[in-house]
Chain A
């Protein structure tokens, strides 16, 4: 009886220790990955054509989904805002509400989530497949550093693309809210814009939203490329890495968003 309790306790402790060690190890691997990528980034900034191609894949091809999602999110905000604000007889504030929630939270976060699903997964799958078909090893054989040639341009492209997409998302969202609130529900046109521009601050709101988008771009880029680069080079491994990339990136975006919000808007 004693021996059994003791051994099960040791096993539980060992299990806990294993989880902690694995966690630390994966953190360390990511840190090493980031450490290796940073010196490669300046090289990729000079290779405009390579960078342009990646911005095209990550940014331009995400445009349709960003535009559609932005429009609908803005329209829903207009509708819900109108419903809530009419009970306080202040439906003119719907513009302020739509713009503030889009600029501070929904713009950067929803754009980042969509970006992680649309572009992050593609990056993981692409790099994972490059690894499993040994293209990365082949590059190394030709004395081409895959960090500089494959990873860095993709990371830089994501960091450039996401803030742009977030800005476009916000603008489309505000227009969507305008269409619903003014065009459909009959809120006064002038009051809609006037209240909005009075309450939305360029520095405190727009710049902070932009900073959020840049931070999310960095996080998504690192997570999705790390998962691809370190994926198990089998078809199952690549599929798992892709799933993990989207899940991790989304959760990290939401968690970091909370931290940034608590730092920025006190």
Chain B
């Protein structure tokens, strides 16, 4: 085996290992799969507080991801947070009266939008809006409310 051939085999091996590593990192380690946009339609919801919700956070029904948060902005009329969600086309039968809430996965986990399925016969179409929403829990508000109820309880 000449030196040139040996070098070529070595470099081939290096390239092969790099490709395997890249594929491994793309598919197993990072969210490369989720990057490709699955065909989806858009729904929106108004929240008075989105907490730590970020773009690309999952939208879940019963813990199953059915879409991603596409955009978070302020609704110019009501000054509430407007969250646009891309919902995959496979799940195009969400009832009209479903409600959206911002939940936290685990005690310290990241936040996601959880959809509670309603009972309406009509379904939300592209551009539709969740009328019933529940904002993220803010610890300070919670403690504040707890303090109020505690002091009120003490007065009685």
Interface residues, chain A, with chain B CB atoms under 8 Å away: 49, 52-53, 55-56, 59-61, 63, 88, 90, 99, 103, 161, 164, 167-168, 170-172, 174, 193, 196-203, 205-206
Contacts and interface: CB of A to CB of B under 8 A. Distances in A.
Interface in B1-45: 4, 6-8, 10-11, 13-15, 17-18, 20-22, 24-26, 28-33, 35
Contact of B21 (A161, A171, A201): A171
Nearest to A175: B24
A99 B8 CA distance: 32
B29 A99 contact: yes
B29 A196 contact: yes
A52 B29 contact: no
A200 B30 contact: yes
Nearest to B23: A171
Given A56-B6, A206-B29, 16 more contacts: A49-B4, A52-B11, A53-B4, A60-B11, A164-B17, A170-B25, A171-B24, A171-B25, A172-B21, A193-B28, A196-B28, A197-B29, A197-B33, A200-B29, A201-B31, A202-B32
A88, A103, A164, A196 pick with most chain B CB within 10 angstroms: A164
B144 interface: no
Nearest to A63: B14
A193 B24 CA distance: 12
Contacts of A168: 17-18, 21
Given A49-B4, A202-B31, A90 B18 contact: no
Contact of B22 (A60, A88, A167, A201): A167
Contact of A197 (B8, B21, B28, B106): B28
Contacts of A99: 29-30
B108 A88 contact: yes
Contacts of B6: 56
Nearest to A172: B21
Contacts of B33: 197
A167 B18 CA distance: 6
A174 B21 CA distance: 10
A196 B34 CA distance: 13
Interface of B: 4, 6-8, 10-11, 13-15, 17-18, 20-22, 24-26, 28-33, 35, 106-108, 110
A53 B5 CA distance: 10
Contacts of B35: 202-203
A63 B108 contact: no
Given A90-B106, A90-B108, A202-B32, A164 B15 contact: yes
Contacts of B18: 164, 167-168
A90 to B, nearest CB: 7
A170 B7 contact: no
B20 A171 contact: yes
B25 A56 contact: no
A59 B14 contact: yes
A56 B29 CA distance: 28
A266 to B, nearest CB: 15
Given A56-B7, A56-B10, A90-B106, A167 B30 contact: no
Contacts of B32: 202, 206
Contacts of A205: 30
A53 B3 CA distance: 9
A243 B4 CA distance: 31
A53 B21 CA distance: 23
Contacts of B21: 167-168, 170-172
A60 B24 contact: no
Nearest to B108: A90
A51 B9 CA distance: 14
Contacts of B28: 174, 193, 196-197
B30 A206 contact: yes
10 contacts: A99-B30, A168-B17, A168-B21, A170-B25, A197-B30, A198-B110, A199-B110, A203-B35, A205-B30, A206-B26
